[in-house]
Structure 1
Amino acid sequence: MKTIAIIPARGGSKRIPDKNIQIFGTLPLVVHSILYAQQNGSIIDEIYVSTDNAEIKKIALQFGAKVIDRPAAISGDLEPTVSALKHVLESIDSNDVENVILLQATNPLRPENLLAETFEAYQKENVDSLFTVTRNHQKFGKIINKKFTPFNYTIGQRSQDLEPLFFENGLLYITKASLILNDIIISENAFPFEVNHIFAQVDIDTENDFKYAQFIQALNQNEG
């Protein structure tokens, strides 16, 4: 049975025009996820890019990924990611595909050993899906009727004493293909794999996100 990687990369982007082919470092943004998948060839059998864009398709093929042309009907702003994943599985011979690894193009920086560690946990925990999370140390609250009400702390409480809260960082997801065919990426028994790494803070959606990601990439290269 196979494990495949799917990288959704549509052409439309309102906040950053042509976001997925903007140069990040020295390469188009989508290429970073393709190369990451290739570096994990001992786990990933095939790499697919799902796109509705001719330029993204050209770049993906140039860097060795297979491309599935995504219909306009499932390429809109409000379309859930699972639609693209399901379409890929329905477009290929997926009878022998057991696992799908979702790599988002908007998360170009990932710890080198992350996939090996998460896939090992995925198999050891015997779950049907896994996603990466990061602990948040901020103090949250709600503003209702112009009044601030703390959500995860009490006024005066130290940050280090907060009850742990985590956020879905988007670095990667691993899911049974059978779940995706039923429109599910994160199942009820999904394993939350904790990643406390600076790369977990990078998820490109706005120009400021892009600049922050470039800063983190440069910082990492200088330290390396």
Structure 2
Amino acid sequence: MKNIAIIPARGGSKRLPQKNIKLLDGFPLLSFSILFAQENSEIIDEIYVSTDDEDIKNIALKYGAKVIDRPLELSGDLEPTVSALKHVLQSIDCDVENVILLQATNPIRPENLLKQAFEIYQKQNCNSLFTVSRNYKKFGKITDQKFIPYNYKIGQRSQDIDPLYFENGLLYITKASLILEDIIISEDAFPLEIDHIFANVDIDTQEDFDYAKYLYHKHIKT
């Protein structure tokens, strides 16, 4: 049974048009996830890009990925990611055990991330794994024009508050059988904590892109 990588990359981004093929240091964003998958060929058997866009399709093919044409009804703004993953599994003729989801909007990842994650995934014998990072901010709600602390007490130091974590989007690993049930993160999912500056990159706006470009030149290009 195979492990496959799926990179969903639709063409209809509104906040940052054509973000999946926007050039970072001369390379389309999509290419970074394809190359990351290729560098992990000892784990990943096949790489698929799911898209509804001809330009994205051509770039995916240029960089050596296989392309699954995504139907328009699965390409809307409100369509969940799992529908694209499920469509890929239903469109290919091979026996898949695990799906590695790589988002094109997370173009830079720690070098050994997948090796580390897949080893833990197998050791934990769980149905899925996803990456998270700790958030040290003090959160609260505003009710009747009053700020009500959520995860801390007024005056409490940031380092002393109970930690909260966010789903950073760097990597997901899930049993293919679960995706066919419309599930990416299972109830027994292992949250792999990543303490890395790249975990703060998830490109939806021009500001996000500019920050990714800064980190790329500071930590990779140099």
Question: Structure 2 CA distance, aligned partners of 1:145 and 1:41?
Answer: 55
User: Paired residue for 2:148?
Assistant: 149
Question: Structure 2 CA distance, aligned partners of 1:61 and 1:221?
Answer: 25
Structure 1 SS opposite 2:210: helix
1:26, distance to aligned residue in structure 2 (A): 2.0
Structure-1-length-normalised TM-score: 0.98
User: Paired residue for 2:122?
Assistant: 123
1:219, distance to aligned residue in structure 2 (A): 1.1
Q: Which aligned pairs between 1:21-36 and structure 2 lie closer than 5 A?
A: 21-36=21-36
Q: Deviations over 1:166-194 (max 9, x none)?
A: 10000010000000000000000100000
Question: Structure 1 CA distance, aligned partners of 2:25 and 2:187?
Answer: 37
Letter in 2 for 1:22: K
Letter in 1 for 2:85: L
Q: Which aligned pairs between 1:3-152 and structure 2 lie closer than 5 A?
A: 3-94=3-94, 96-152=95-151
Structure 1 SS opposite 2:14: coil
User: Paired residue for 2:213?
Assistant: 214
Question: Structure 1 CA distance, aligned partners of 2:6 and 2:220?
Answer: 27
Question: Structure 1 CA distance, aligned partners of 2:18 and 2:215?
Answer: 21
Q: Which aligned pairs between 1:154-173 and structure 2 lie closer than 5 A?
A: 154-173=153-172
Structure 1 SS opposite 2:117: helix
Q: Deviations over 1:182-208 (max 9, x none)?
A: 000000010000000000000000111
Question: Structure 2 CA distance, aligned partners of 1:199 and 1:50?
Answer: 24
Give the length in aligned residue pairs. Answer: 222
User: Paired residue for 1:201?
Assistant: 200
Letter in 1 for 2:60: A
- What are the ranges of 5 or more consecutive residues in structure 2 without an aligned counterpart? none
User: Paired residue for 2:180?
Assistant: 181
- What are the ranges of 5 or more consecutive residues in structure 1 without an aligned counterpart? none
Letter in 2 for 1:35: L
Question: Structure 1 CA distance, aligned partners of 2:128 and 2:25?
Answer: 32
Letter in 2 for 1:108: P
Question: Structure 2 CA distance, aligned partners of 1:212 and 1:143?
Answer: 29
1:130, distance to aligned residue in structure 2 (A): 0.3
Letter in 2 for 1:17: P
Structure 2 SS opposite 1:192: strand
Structure 1 SS opposite 2:36: helix
Question: Structure 1 CA distance, aligned partners of 2:102 and 2:205?
Answer: 19
Question: Structure 2 CA distance, aligned partners of 1:32 and 1:64?
Answer: 12
Identical aligned residues as a percent: 70
Structure 1 SS opposite 2:12: coil
Structure 2 SS opposite 1:83: helix
1:164, distance to aligned residue in structure 2 (A): 1.1
Structure 2 SS opposite 1:210: helix
Question: Structure 2 CA distance, aligned partners of 1:143 and 1:75?
Answer: 35
Q: RMSD in angstroms over aligned alpha carbons? A: 0.8
